[in-house]
Amino acid sequence: MIPVRVYTTRICGYCFAAKRLLSKKGVSFEEIDVSDDPDQRRWLVETSGQRTVPQIFVGDRSIGGFTELRALDRSGELDALLAAD
């Protein structure tokens, strides 16, 4: 399965929801807490174009936050994206 990274902060309901959705699907992911890391947070904004968390990457592709993750899951596209090589 393609690597998944979830950038989070400690106090973020959408971060918990994204991690729960991925865990429920059996998806392994790396969680990166950017709460106290301004350099990592700056990189995340530059890379994703978003200031909010979570920001979710499948491989090197930014798929957005929880709303986008849920939409991909509901449409069936998430499974295909995770299986891509």
DSSP string, 30-70: EEEE-TT-HHHHHHHHHHHS--SS-EEEETTEEEESHHHHH
Q: Sheet containing 30-33: give its strands across.
A: 30-33, 4-8, 55-58, 61-64
In a domain, 44, yes or no: yes
In a domain, 9, yes or no: no
Tell me if 60 sits within 8 A of 48, measured CB to CB.
Answer: no
Chain segment 3-28, per-residue pLDDT in tens: 999 999 999 999 999 999 999 999 99
pTM of the model: 0.94
In a domain, 49, yes or no: yes
In a domain, 52, yes or no: yes
What's the rounded Cα separation, in Å, for the pair 80 and 54? Answer: 21
In a domain, 72, yes or no: no
> What is the pLDDT confidence band of residue 1, given thresholds at 50, 70 and 90?
confident
In a domain, 64, yes or no: no
In a domain, 13, yes or no: no
In a domain, 46, yes or no: yes
Q: Domain limits at 36?
A: 19-58
Please state the domain count of the chain: 1
Chain segment 53-77, per-residue pLDDT in tens: 999 999 999 999 999 999 999 999 9
What's the rounded Cα separation, in Å, for the pair 16 and 5? Answer: 14
